[in-house]
Structure 1
């Protein structure tokens, strides 16, 4: 049995929030996936994000919630911007992020007729910086942001034609 046979996905539900808020293991990890959130991530903060965003989706690995993502921007016929990408600590390194990004690309095409997907990653997020180019994303921009300690950080922007 291959690993991909154990990965499935579905729309995120309120019942998933308690598991998802446990994914970020530090304030820095939370900043990478949800810069506006306060550490520790709460169900209320995540529910508010889901209410403002579109297509919140979970990946299941061995029938357990293992990944989460959504779109924080969407423009029908043009693009979707991937947001809140998180993977459970126990599921990291098992293909969850690869699968989840592919699912979100498909949702962008199906729901928004998107021609491209955008993703952003902070400079200290090595996992993300290595993930997106591997999945065919090209560097498209660099923007200065501030982290929770008010330090300058670089938000590296990626783009992929769908």
Structure 2
């Protein structure tokens, strides 16, 4: 049902339609401003690895996106970032496929043994999904944005 490939410039406009509100966009990146634009995605790509899209084979359309950042060769760790799935494909296996692809890339392409991510405390659906996938919380990070506190729960998973 799904396949994957590297991000192409033509994918950016479609990905920008996935976040449905400003609060949802914060889950993807607190650095983004709503509405999401291709330029915002491109600006973050400077420090990212393996920008990947998931496609629905039958519809031949982009349905999910993620990348990897913060790779530390010595510690053999990296971070999963900018995870977003089209609203029409949530709960239909696209997120599982995306996560499988990204975990495989972290391990096989980068040689990472541990992958980490940050999931906001208000994203209960995301937190439940990551715990189900074997990610374990290990820290929290509190920041202020627009006079409100954002709490990101840091989670990790061993890839070996």
TM-score (norm 2): 0.93
- Structure 1 residue aligned with 2:44: 49
Measure the CA separation in 2 of the matches of 1:132 and 1:110. 20
Measure the CA separation in 2 of the matches of 1:71 and 1:150. 29
Measure the CA separation in 2 of the matches of 1:143 and 1:67. 26
- Structure 2 residue aligned with 1:7: 2
Tell me, yes or no, if the aligned pair for 1:75 and 1:112 is still in contact at 8 Å.
no
Pairing partner for 2:104 from 101, 106, 113? 106
Q: CA RMSD for the aligned pairs?
A: 1.1
1:86-97 equivalences under 5 Å are 86-97=84-95
Pairing partner for 2:113 from 109, 112, 115? 115
Measure the CA separation in 2 of the matches of 1:150 and 1:71. 29
4+ runs deviating over 4 angstroms = none
Superposed displacement of residue 32, structure 1:
0.6
Superposed displacement of residue 50, structure 1:
2.0
Pairing partner for 1:17 from 12, 18, 21? 12
Superposed displacement of residue 126, structure 1:
1.5
SS of 1:112's equivalent? coil
Measure the CA separation in 2 of the matches of 1:66 and 1:79. 27
- Structure 2 residue aligned with 1:29: 24
Measure the CA separation in 2 of the matches of 1:50 and 1:91. 24
Structure 2, unaligned runs of 5 or more? none
Superposed displacement of residue 28, structure 1:
0.7
Structure 1, unaligned runs of 5 or more? 1-5
SS of 2:24's equivalent? helix
TM-score (norm 1): 0.92
SS of 2:126's equivalent? helix
